[in-house]
Structure 1
Amino acid sequence: MTVRIGVVTFPGSLDDVDARRAVRIAGAEPVALWHASHDLDGVDALILPGGFSYGDYLRAGAIAALAPIMRDVKDAAAKGMPVLGICNGFQMLVEAHLLPGGLIRNAHQQFIRRDQRLRVENTSTAWTSDFADGQEIVIPLKNADGGYVASDDELDRLEGEGLVAFRYIGVNPNGSLRDIAGLTNPAGNVVGLMPHPEHAVEPGFGPSTAAAMRSGVDGLSFFSSAIAAVVGAAA
């Protein structure tokens, strides 16, 4: 079967084209979706991409979380459709209450960009099944409002229920509590993370020196995992 993965474009999205390219490289059909529409075009999975939706006015992702298409995204997520929020998309997911907690200004108050080491903490989600438990990966990171926060009780719940999907290792780039880089919902179909897997799906793109971002394909498993989840659910 041909798996169709929709990528929603919002005003200020920067990485929607990159996300569609990653979907295509992974072997699925990318479908461009528009924030003002209520039509998901029959897709099998959804990606909310990175960028600065609505200029990040009010709070990052807060206005986008109220966009017309988000009502349909919420309905699809409730029915089990795989949904991935990347960076600004992660911010949308927490603002839409599809994932808990919040994302605030980086602890050092500066935009950061770096190749970031992560540890995969949960491989039972629709977007992480092609990873190994505890696998260490390197994914490009670029954000200004990436500090994950939640109450102590909420953090304990996330840890206890295994809902931390990714954790920063080596360096905590933005002050996220408990080094949390990404989360999953209890059903495992909704995942959000700050680093950008769509920028790590092809060898040979970008600098590869010790002083700059390296080329890599660690991000490809996000998209291949989603394809496998859709195919498995249809079998």
Structure 2
Amino acid sequence: MREEKLGRLNTTDIKIDDLYYLHYKYYHRDLFDAFEKYALGNLLDIGCGNKPYENKLQHKISKYIGVDIIQSSDNKVDYLCPANKIPLENSLFETVISTQTIEHVEDHQGLVNEAYRLLKPNGIFIVSGPMYWPLHEEPYDFFRFTKHGFKYILEKAGFEIVEIKSNGGKWSVAGQAFLHALLPSVYNIKGLKGIFLRKSFQLFGGIKGVNTFFQKIDDEINDNSNTMNYVVVAKKTQ
């Protein structure tokens, strides 16, 4: 049974001293760019949670409907339903989004098929999901996607790919993975080893220092052979 009122993202203000800054810096950059370029009209959010991007979209769209499998911590979900069985009529929306949800859906192809069904002809689907991330919301964490995997499942549903963006490169992945490995376990290591590791982390500048260092390298070395996440824009051509 999925946990009701599960905490969900409800802000887009992620500071450089945040544990997940490296993820959100590049993910939000590409996601918000897609919103600005493509979002319009009536919008459906599959896996909406607390609708953290509603304010970013208000000036672009006319209506915002959110569906999710459980009610969010801020009671933002309009329809409670599975992502592959949404109780709405065909061709209602100009835009469908689904952000960081698809990895939690057992029938991920069903989610994509529903997005296609619910879009009007020439409608836009903006979907995002991780390639790197630790297990979370277990046991409802099923998949990780490469850009080729996203292309396959979207084209299988009938979509035409507009763009696929890697959200950060291998150095942002290295920095985020380092922080995931270090925290909070570094504070549980006893003895001189624990003291040394904690002092070294502090001297490096803590979370902010790690984020600053790996962001700088990632911005200077453009290598997306390993990435944290993808934002994909696809079009319903019929």
TM-score under structure 2 length normalisation: 0.34
Larger Rg over CA atoms: 2
Q: Higher relative contact order by CA 8 Å / sep ≥ 6: 1 or 2?
A: 2
> Which has the larger helix fraction?
2
